[in-house]
């Protein structure tokens, strides 16, 4: 037959020619699969190098810096895991197409599963995305004192899904990251405090103000406390005045979360200065009736005694 010699030469059987064709196709498929594998490995290596740029190495050995580095490493690891899985899924679909299996049913199944998971895990996805923003924007780290909504306390744990805060009562409060709308971080840069001193309104202010200035100067000069001061204490003057008291306000800035202890120390020094100078504080006279009904009428007469 014409063309018969094109399929195989004389002396070759049809089975041997078919085996050669099958072997050639197998080698071609194997080569394509090998290329896909090499591309996937190269893309994963590139992703690892790019995502490692998200990691912020600790600038020092402080706990906050170590926690910040650990959080960025966790975020980078999660991002790499998600991106790598997507690359492997695409590679698997391409491999199915190479071996003659249509990837369309797998794509349809993956779309249905992804849609179901998306509807069922909307809050989880929102929490994770918010957690990524918290870490990338460096809003707070473990050890910071924060105010989130009605919760004020120290951050004990931060993950991509939740933030754990120990409040002033000692309660361990867990907050989903997706529920956080605003955060007040009290542990960054400096803290500020005001100390109000109530004075009797009828006394001149020159002597009390001088005593407050002296107490503030002594606090600034004390090496045990001055290292925690950023600015002040500064006497701002009379903050409020009425018939009950004249309120003198003192302002100061301290290292983060040192304002309360320094405020207590300043109050102690002001009290000692006032006691030395004999300066009276504000006092409100209170009149309290112990028995109003009896006081409104006449005193009851003594009961007659009988023998």
Burial of 251 (0-12, 13-18, 19+ CB in 10 A): middle
Residues 232-256, mean pLDDT to the nearest whole number? 90
Judgement on whether residues 116 and 46 belong to the same structural domain of the protein: yes
Look at the chain and report how many structural domains it folds into: 3
The better pLDDT of the pair 260, 70 is held by: 260
Judgement on whether residues 106 and 180 belong to the same structural domain of the protein: no
Cβ neighbours of 295 (radius 10 Å): 9
The pLDDT of residue 295: 45
Strand partners, 203: none
Judgement on whether residues 26 and 110 belong to the same structural domain of the protein: yes
- For residue 223, tell me if it sits in a domain: yes
- Answer with the one of 185, 202, 219 that is the final residue of a domain: 185
Can you point out the beta strands (E) in 161-280? 162-167, 172-176, 183-185, 191-199, 229-241, 246-254
- For residue 293, tell me if it sits in a domain: no
Judgement on whether residues 177 and 196 belong to the same structural domain of the protein: no
Of all residues in the chain, what percent carry a pLDDT higher than 70?
79
- For residue 69, tell me if it sits in a domain: yes
* pLDDT greater than 70 at residue 10: no
Q: Convert the pLDDT of each residue in 77-117 to its tens digit.
A: 777 887 888 888 888 888 877 777 777 777 777 777 777 77
Judgement on whether residues 200 and 174 belong to the same structural domain of the protein: no
- For residue 36, tell me if it sits in a domain: yes
The pLDDT of residue 197: 92
- For residue 254, tell me if it sits in a domain: yes
The pLDDT of residue 7: 46
Q: 160 pLDDT band (50/70/90 cuts)?
A: confident
Q: Convert the pLDDT of each residue in 139-153 to its tens digit.
A: 888 888 999 989 999
Model confidence pTM above 0.75: no
User: Measured in Å, how far apart are the chain's first and last C-alpha atoms?
Assistant: 158
- For residue 67, tell me if it sits in a domain: yes
The parent domain of residue 40 ranges over 19-120
Q: What are the helix and strand counts (H, E) for the chain?
A: 9, 8
- For residue 204, tell me if it sits in a domain: yes
The pLDDT of residue 307: 41
User: Looking at residue 167, which CATH number applies to its domain?
Assistant: 2.30.30.60
Q: Convert the pLDDT of each residue in 14-51 to its tens digit.
A: 556 556 555 667 777 788 888 888 988 898 889 888 88
Judgement on whether residues 173 and 238 belong to the same structural domain of the protein: no
* pLDDT greater than 80 at residue 172: yes
Residue 305 DSSP one-character state: P
């Amino acid at each position: 037959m014409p063309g018969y010699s094109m399929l195989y030469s004389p002396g070759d059987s049809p089975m041997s020619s078919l085996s050669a064709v099958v072997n050639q196709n197998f080698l071609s498929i194997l080569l394509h699969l090998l290329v896909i594998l090499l591309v996937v490995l190269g893309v994963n290596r590139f992703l690892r190098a790019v995502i490692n740029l998200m990691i912020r190495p600790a600038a020092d050995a402080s706990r906050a810096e170590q926690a910040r580095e650990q959080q960025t490493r966790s975020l980078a690891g999660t991002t790499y895991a998600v991106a790598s899985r997507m690359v492997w899924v695409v590679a698997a679909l391409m491999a199915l197409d190479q071996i003659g299996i249509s990837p369309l049913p797998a794509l349809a199944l993956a779309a249905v599963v992804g849609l179901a998971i998306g509807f069922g895990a909307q809050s989880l996805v929102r929490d994770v995305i918010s957690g990524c923003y918290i870490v990338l924007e460096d809003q707070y780290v473990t050890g910071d004192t924060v105010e989130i909504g009605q919760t004020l306390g120290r951050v004990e744990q931060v993950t991509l899904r939740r933030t754990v805060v120990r409040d002033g009562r000692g309660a361990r409060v867990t907050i989903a990251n997706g529920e956080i709308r605003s955060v007040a971080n009290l542990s960054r840069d400096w803290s500020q405090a005001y100390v109000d001193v109530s004075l009797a309104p009828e006394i001149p202010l020159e002597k009390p103000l001088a005593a407050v200035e002296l107490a503030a100067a002594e606090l600034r000069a004390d090496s045990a406390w001055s290292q925690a001061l950023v600015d002040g204490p500064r006497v701002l003057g009379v903050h409020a005045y009425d018939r009950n008291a004249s309120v003198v306000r003192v302002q100061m800035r301290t290292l983060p979360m040192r304002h309360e202890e320094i405020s207590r120390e300043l109050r102690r020094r002001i009290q000692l200065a006032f006691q030395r100078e004999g300066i009276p504080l504000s006092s409100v006279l209170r009149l309290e009736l112990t028995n109003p009904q009896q006081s409104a009428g006449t005193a009851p007469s003594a009961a007659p005694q009988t023998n």
